[in-house]
């Protein structure tokens, strides 16, 4: 992926994506393009429809209308597991780990989609399955080291401290070998120090050739790592562009940053 | 330094828990091997051996249901239906029953083949039931499986042209083997090899068979537990949305849990048909499903060793402790000079009669007490144990984390 020059090839393309819940228009005809290898941020006030947009991309919701193209393939209305197989991984706003599984097992679940073992292989523990299990355990440990929580490998996910749970979610998502990583408020509840560490982690993820699409509230963090920003308000796209432009946009200031900013 | 120590103590804890499971398996295996010899020697007959063989059927059922309820977290209230399907598959094709059916031909297929046929038929029905229903969650799934569990025995009852309905299917073929070995462990005087051995109603032979079946089932389920599929089941149990986002096809994965769980029940059904020699629709009522569920929950959901202990304990409680309670109470009261308690007098029905009437109340009380005193089950999986320790552990982690941060 790294050989694809950034700024030419788009990995995710939304065309007039709309999601309606009854009378509520959660996402209103949003179009955007994310380029390969960039950090793209989605911001907006609470209830702007950011997470709904994520859910529509990852197949949790079927969009009411519009089109989602990922890596040159139309994935509108695909099931979540199909989307994951194609190469979109995500984390959740409210951490959704497998609480009563160890950290390393959580990451191994992420490897599921890239594993080959069939029921018979597992039932009879065939050598092939054994080797795959060993390899996957090693890969999972490597990912835990990558996000810096290897020391928690054998702890239950729910027993990890909050910040490490967020990291574990990222490791689990990376285990699916995504081309595009969706981070839903990854720094929520973080201390400034933790936010700096998170920015470092996001940069490390980029060097793996993974495009990052994130929702974030912290303007400093967003301005620091993202190349382009889209601002949603009441489900509508009200601004798009590089951070310094968006920061000056009058509609953004009114809708999101408030008059004081 | 405190970090390193905490990690060490954690490892130690893990070792201990793992050892506990190994120890339970070891004790179970030794008891299982010595049981026929010991009980025949002690009591002079094979009653306790045949009791143990019956208990084994329940162990097999509980191990299978544990896959569905304990691993995948799907509440199945109609598990007895698959047991019935396995039993009837064998009974129909290994008796004279089909001679009086519209087929007019009796089949006598070998037990060893039908054991696997029963398994596959039950698995197929598991998948058939699962396919339209597994999109449902939680309570809705429980209600549908409950309905399925009611329908299947009714079908076997009402398709009397084929199944004999209320008359049941009797004189079912017994398994046979080209050779069998007998010896003092089975109450015989010498070790001898029996040619063309028929299981007939030999309790020791059935006992050996069910022990082998259980060992096989436990090995297979253990393998599944620590595999790609086992992790996918647990992931679905923990958080279905997150599991789907990780690329797990939740529908087929749950379907597999249903089918594999059902296959063990089908297996047990075929064994039951052969060992009992009689299959009747009223052996597969709702109470069977509930009893197996109680065994799984009480033993320790998700933990195979615990589920085995739970099954044995509940079987023993139901079929030995409670059923012999009236007689035991009567003889006890006679022995200590309170024989008059046994005479009914006005509203007093007599002690043994009272015990007879209150059997199921006692059973319920024991279950409630067990759940109050040990909600995680007799031998919980490490998961359930964690649930109780959670508060303490989190505190510990915070200390570890602070140590790392500084």
Picking from B10, B242, B404, the nearest residue to A92 by CB comes out as: B242
How far A56 CA sits from the closest chain B CA (Å)? 12
Give tens-digit pLDDT for A13-32: 999 999 999 989 999 999 99
Task: Please tell me if residue B282 touches chain A, with a CB cutoff of 8 Å.
Answer: no
How do residues B370-404 score in pLDDT, each as one tens digit?
888 887 777 776 655 554 454 444 444 444 445 45
Round to whole Å and give the CA distance between A90 and A174.
9
Alpha helix stretches (DSSP H) within chain A: 50-57, 80-86, 103-111, 119-123, 127-147, 162-174, 192-207, 219-225, 243-248, 250-252
Q: Which of A90, A100, A172 sits opposite B386 (nearest CB)?
A: A100
CB B294 within 8 Å of CB B75:
no
pLDDT attached to residue B394: 46
CB A230 within 8 A of CB A53: no
**Predicted pLDDT at B9:** 57
CA distance B242 to chain A (A): 6
Is residue A203 pLDDT above 90, yes or no? Answer: yes
* Contact predicate A106/A172, CB 8 Å: yes
* From A90, A161, A172, residue closest to B398, measured CB to CB: A161
For the stretch B34-77, pLDDT in tens is 998 888 888 888 889 999 999 999 999 999 999 999 999 999 99
**How far, in Å, CA of B125 to CA of B101, rounded?**
23
The Cα–Cα gap between B97 and B87 comes to 13
**Both tokens assigned to B197:** 């051995």
- Closest chain B C-alpha to A155 CA, distance in angstroms: 9
Mean pLDDT of B282-294: 93
User: Does pLDDT of B268 surpass 60?
Assistant: yes
Residues 241-280 of B with CB under 8 A from A: 241-250, 256, 260
pLDDT of residue A87: 96
Angle at B266 between CA B35 and CA B28, to 5 degrees: 25
**Range with top average pLDDT, A79-83, B105-109, B197-201, B343-347:** A79-83
Q: What is the pTM of this model?
A: 0.87
**Tokens encoding B71:** 């691993």
């Amino acid at each position: 992926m790294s050989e694809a020059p950034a700024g030419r090839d788009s990995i995710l393309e939304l065309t007039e994506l709309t999601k309606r819940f009854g009378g509520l228009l959660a996402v209103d005809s949003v179009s955007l393009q994310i380029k390969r290898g960039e950090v793209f941020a989605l911001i907006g006030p609470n209830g702007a429809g950011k997470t709904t947009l994520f859910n529509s991309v990852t197949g949790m919701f079927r969009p009411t209308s519009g089109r989602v193209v990922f890596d040159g393939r139309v994935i509108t209305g695909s099931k979540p597991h199909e989307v994951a197989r194609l190469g979109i991984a995500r984390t959740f706003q409210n951490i959704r780990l497998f609480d009563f599984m160890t950290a390393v097992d959580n990451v191994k679940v992420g490897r599921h989609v890239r594993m080959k073992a069939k029921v018979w292989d597992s039932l009879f523990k065939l050598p092939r399955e054994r080797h795959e299990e060993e390899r996957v355990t090693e890969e999972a440990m490597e990912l835990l080291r990558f996000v810096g929580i290897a020391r928690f490998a054998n702890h239950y996910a729910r027993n990890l401290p909050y910040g490490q749970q967020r990291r574990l979610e990222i490791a689990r998502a990376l285990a699916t070998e995504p081309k595009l990583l969706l981070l839903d408020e990854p720094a929520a509840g973080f201390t400034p120090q933790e936010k700096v560490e998170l920015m470092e982690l996001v940069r490390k993820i980029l060097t793996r050739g993974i495009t990052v699409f994130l929702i974030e509230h912290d303007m400093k963090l967003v301005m620091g790592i993202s190349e382009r920003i889209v601002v949603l308000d009441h489900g509508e796209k009200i601004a798009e562009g590089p951070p310094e432009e968006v920061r000056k946009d009058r509609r953004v200031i009114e809708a999101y940053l408030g008059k004081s900013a | 330094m405190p970090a390193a120590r905490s990690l060490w103590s954690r490892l130690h804890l893990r070792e201990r828990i793992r050892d506990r499971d190994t120890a339970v398996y070891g004790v179970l295996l030794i008891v299982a091997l010595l049981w026929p010899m010991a009980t025949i020697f002690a009591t002079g007959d094979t009653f306790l051996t045949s009791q143990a063989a019956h208990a084994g059927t329940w162990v097999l059922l509980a191990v299978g249901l544990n896959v569905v309820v304990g691993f995948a977290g799907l509440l199945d209230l109609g598990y007895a239906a698959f047991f019935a399907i396995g039993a009837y598959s064998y009974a129909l094709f290994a008796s004279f029953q089909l001679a009086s059916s519209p087929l007019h031909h009796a089949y006598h297929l070998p037990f060893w083949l039908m054991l696997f046929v029963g398994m596959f038929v039950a698995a197929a029905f598991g998948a058939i039931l699962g396919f339209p229903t597994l999109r449902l969650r939680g309570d809705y799934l429980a209600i549908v499986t409950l309905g399925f569990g009611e329908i299947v025995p009714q079908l076997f009852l009402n398709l009397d042209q084929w199944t004999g309905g209320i008359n049941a299917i009797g004189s079912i073929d017994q398994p046979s083997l080209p050779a069998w070995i007998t010896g003092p462990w089975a109450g015989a005087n010498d070790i001898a090899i029996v040619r063309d051995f028929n299981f007939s109603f030999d309790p020791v032979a059935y006992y050996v068979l069910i022990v082998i079946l259980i060992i096989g089932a436990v090995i297979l389920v253990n393998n599944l537990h620590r595999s790609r599929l086992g992790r996918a089941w647990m992931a679905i149990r923990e958080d279905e949305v997150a599991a789907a986002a990780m690329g797990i096809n939740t529908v087929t994965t749950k379907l597999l849990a249903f089918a594999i769980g059902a296959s063990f029940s089908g297996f047990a059904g075929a064994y039951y048909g052969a060992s009992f020699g009689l299959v009747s629709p009223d052996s597969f009522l709702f109470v069977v499903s509930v009893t197996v569920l109680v065994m799984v929950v009480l033993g320790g959901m998700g933990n195979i060793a615990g589920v085995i202990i739970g099954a044995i304990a509940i079987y023993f409680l139901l079929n030995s402790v409670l059923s012999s309670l009236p007689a035991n109470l009567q003889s006890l009261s006679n022995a200590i000079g309170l024989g008059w308690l046994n005479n009914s007098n006005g509203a007093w029905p007599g002690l043994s009669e009272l015990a007879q009437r209150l059997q199921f109340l006692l059973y319920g009380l024991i279950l409630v007490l067990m759940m109050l005193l040990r909600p995680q089950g007799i031998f919980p999986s490490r998961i359930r144990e964690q649930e109780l320790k959670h508060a303490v552990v989190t505190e510990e982690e915070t200390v570890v984390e602070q140590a790392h941060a500084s």
